[in-house]
A and B are shown apart, each in its own frame.
Chain A
Amino acid sequence: MTDEPRMEDMPSVRGEVSNLKLVSRATYFKEAALKNLFLLCAFMAVAGVALIFVFVGYRGWPIFSEVGAGNFLFGMEWLPTEGLFGILPLFVGSIVVTVGALLLGTPLAVGAAVFLSEIAPPKVRSIVRPAIELLAGVPSVVYGFFGLLILRPIVADLTGGLGFGPLTAWIILAIMIVPTIATLTEDALHSIPGGVREASYAMGATTWQTISRVLLPAAKIGIVDAIILGMGRAIGETMAVLMVVGNAPGFFRGMGEPLSTLTSQIVMDMPYASGMHRTALFGMAIILFLVSMGLVLTVRLLSRLREETS
C-alpha cells in the first residue's frame, strides 16, 4: 500500500523535473531490495543452522532423559536391538579414524602447500594447484569405491584380515583432507609479508632454513587453523568411511580390524531404526554437532589470536 503513491510519482518525475531524481529513486529501491535480499540470505544460513540444531536436539533429547547421559555417552556396547545404546566405541572409532587421517594427511598437505608457495616454479604450480583443488571436488563415494576396490585388498594382504578397518579409512581420509589443509596453509604462507622472506634470505639462510625456521613458525596459527578444518572434514565424512571401515560397532582393536564411527553408524542404522534406537541416532547427531561447533569455535579463537599477534 505504501509503495503505490511512489510508483505513481515516477512517471511525473520522469516527465517534468529531471532524470537524476528518477535514477536515484530507482537506485534507492534497488539498493534497498538488494540489501534486504542479502540480509535474507545471511538470515537463511543462520536460521538453517538453528533449525537443524533445534530439530536434532528435539528428536535426540529423550536419549539423555530416558536412557541417561551416562549410559549413552559412556556405554560400552552398541546393541540397539537389545536396548543397549552405548556410543563410546563409536565415538572412539570416530576419533581413531580422524586422528590417524590427520597424522597421515597433515604432513602431506603442509608439504604440498610449502612446495606450491615457496619452491615450485610458476609452470609446475599451475599444474599442481588445480590438481590438488580437484581432489576437493571428487565425490566421497568415489573415494569410497577407490578404497574398496584398490586399497582394501592391499591392506588385507598387509594386516592378514579382510582389509576393512581404520588403516584403509586413514589413507582415504588423508587424501580427502589434503585439499582443505593445503589450500588454507598456502593462504597462511602467502599472508606472511614478503619482507620477512627477503630478510631471511638476506641473512644468508637457505631455502630450507627459511621455510623451517621463519615461514612455518610465522604461519603456525594459520596452519593449526587449517588442520582443525581438516579435522572437521574427517570427522564428518560418512560415505567413504562407511564403505571401507567395516562397520563393526566395537572398540578399536587394530589397524586392520573392522571399526565403526558415529557418522557411518547413523547411515547404517537409519533405514530400519525406530523408537529409542532412532532417538539414539539423533543423539549421536547432537554429539557430532557439538564436536563440529567446538572445532569452529576453536578456529574463531585462533583467528583472533592471529590478528592480535600480527
Chain B
Amino acid sequence: MLLAVIALPLAGCSRGNSAQNKIIVTGSTTIQPIAEVAKEDYERRNPDQVVLVSGVGSSAGIENVSSGTSDIGTSSRELKDEELDLGLVDTPIAYDAIAVIVNPSNPVTSLSKAQVKAIFQGTITNWSEVGGPDMAIGLVNRDEASGTREAFAKIVLDKERFDPTAVILPGTGQVRSVVAQEPRAIGYISLGFVTDDVKAIAIDGVEPSEATVVSGTYPVQRVLHMFTKGAPTGLAKSYLDFVLSPDVQESVVRDAGFIPITAKGLTGD
C-alpha cells in the first residue's frame, strides 16, 4: 500500500511528462529568444503541456534531436554534409541577417564583402586600409559551436579560415559589449541583437534591414531552422505549428529582431 503511494507520483513524473506532455527544445542560442517566448505563450494556451527550452548551440541541438534526447533541435545554420543522412526534417521558422558591427565612434560605415573577408582573415589589419583612422583592427570572432560563425564563414569567408589570432568569445552578448566599448573592434552578430551601442556596417553598400533581407540584396543572410527527427508529430508538431502561426511570427519573431518566415511569401528553401 505504502509502496503504491510512493510509486504512483514517481511514475507520473518519469513516464507521463516525458512521453505525453513534455516537449524538449534545444539548440541555437540565436533562436533562444523565439523558442523561449513561444514556449511561454504556448504553455499559457496549453496548461497541461510543458516545453523545456535550452540554448546549447546549433551543433548540440542537431546532435540532441538526432540522438532523441530532444524532440526539436533548433539551428541557425544549415545541416552539414555528414548530418544530411540523420533523418532530420527541417521546418524553417524565420529569416535572419548577420550584421557586421563596429563601435559607433568608428567613421567607417560601409565595406565590400571582399573587405570584410580580408579583415576576418587577417590580411587587412588596420582601419586606414578601408578608409578609417590609423588604428589596428581588433577582431572579435565567435567560438566554433556558434551557428552564427558557421553561417558567416560560409557566406563571407567562402568557408576559408578565420584569422587564428582573433579574440574568440563564447556569446553574442559578449561580442556586442566588447565592440560597444572598443573603438578598434569589429565583430559580427545576428541583426536581431544589434542595439544602439554598436553600429551595423553596410555590406556592398546595402544596410542590413528587413527590406534588404526580404529583397535578397543584403548578402549575409540565413534561415533559422527547427529540426525534428522525421516529420513532426504530436506535441512537437503542435508546438511547431504554433511557432509558424501569425501570432508568433508577427509578434515574437519580430520582437526578437528576426524576420518572419512568411515575409517572403514562400516557406523557405
Contact = CB atoms under 8 A, between A and B. Distances in A.
A148 B173 CA distance: 13
A271 to B, nearest CB: 5
Interface stretch (A22-30, A157-165, A295-303): A157-165
A147 interface: no
B56 interface: yes
Interface in A221-261: 242, 246-250, 253, 257-258, 260
Given A161-B138, A162-B138, A162-B178, A272 B60 contact: yes
A258 B165 contact: yes
B148 to A, nearest CB: 13
Contacts of A79: 164
Contact of A274 (B57, B63, B143, B185): B63
Contacts of B144: 80-81, 268-269, 272
Nearest to B136: A160
A253 B165 contact: yes
B227 to A, nearest CB: 16
A243 to B, nearest CB: 8
A57 interface: no
A156 interface: yes
A34 to B, nearest CB: 31
Interface string B177-205: 01001101100000000000000000000
Nearest to B146: A272
A256 B57 CA distance: 29
B169 interface: yes
Interface string A120-153: 0000000000000000000000000000100011
B29 to A, nearest CB: 10
Contact of A249 (B136, B164, B170, B182): B164
Interface residues of B, number: 24
B165 A257 contact: yes
Interface string B64-105: 000000000000000000000000000000000000000000
Given A268-B143, A271-B60, A274-B63, A162 B167 contact: yes
Interface string B43-65: 00000000000001101100100
B57 A258 contact: no
B184 A162 contact: yes
Nearest to A246: B167
A148 B182 CA distance: 13
B167 A250 contact: no
Interface in A250-297: 250, 253, 257-258, 260, 268-269, 271-272, 274
A164 B175 CA distance: 12
Interface string B143-178: 111000000000000000000111111100010001
User: Which 3 residue pairs of A and B lie closest in terms of their CB atoms, listed nearest first?
Assistant: A272-B145, A247-B168, A272-B59
29 contacts: A80-B144, A148-B174, A152-B178, A156-B182, A160-B136, A162-B138, A162-B167, A162-B178, A162-B184, A163-B182, A242-B170, A247-B168, A248-B164, A248-B165, A248-B166, A248-B167, A250-B164, A253-B165, A257-B165, A258-B166, A258-B167, A258-B168, A268-B145, A268-B170, A271-B56, A271-B145, A272-B60, A272-B144, A272-B145
Interface of A: 79-81, 148, 152-153, 156, 160-164, 242, 246-250, 253, 257-258, 260, 268-269, 271-272, 274
Given A247-B143, A271-B57, A271-B60, 5 more contacts: A152-B178, A160-B136, A162-B167, A246-B168, A248-B168
